[in-house]
Amino acid sequence: MSDSEIMVRLKNIAKTYGEGEARVQVLKGLDLEVRRGEMLAIVGPSGVGKSTLLHLVGLLDRADGSAPRAAAHATHEAAGSQLKHWVDQAET
């Protein structure tokens, strides 16, 4: 499959909450690609980062360092209207 069929790409994603001794690294070095038309399930025990992952993919939260890519576009610097444009393009 070509890169144009990849709808979501996460490469070396990390997410940490808290500071100092309260710091908790929820995701570390996560890689994921989701292609057009592909369905997947995110499963695992409580506390492993499932909701955090979905928040990052849904752009409700930001990763530490690198950012998810949506429809081949980097998302970390995009404004809401640009993100909507990319999603609209991907649906056609």
- The closest of 12, 10, 3, 18 to 69, measured between CA atoms, is 10
Confidence of residue 2 (pLDDT cuts 50, 70, 90): low
Look up the CATH number of the domain holding residue 17. 3.40.50.300
- The closest of 81, 8, 70, 88 to 40, measured between CA atoms, is 8
pTM of the model: 0.68
Determine the structural domain holding residue 72 and report its residue range.
Answer: 3-91
| Cα distance between residue 11 and residue 33, in whole Å | 8
Tally the domains of the chain. Answer: 1
Helix ranges restricted to H, the chain? 50-57, 80-91
* pLDDT one-digit tens code per residue, 45-67: 998 999 999 998 887 888 887 66
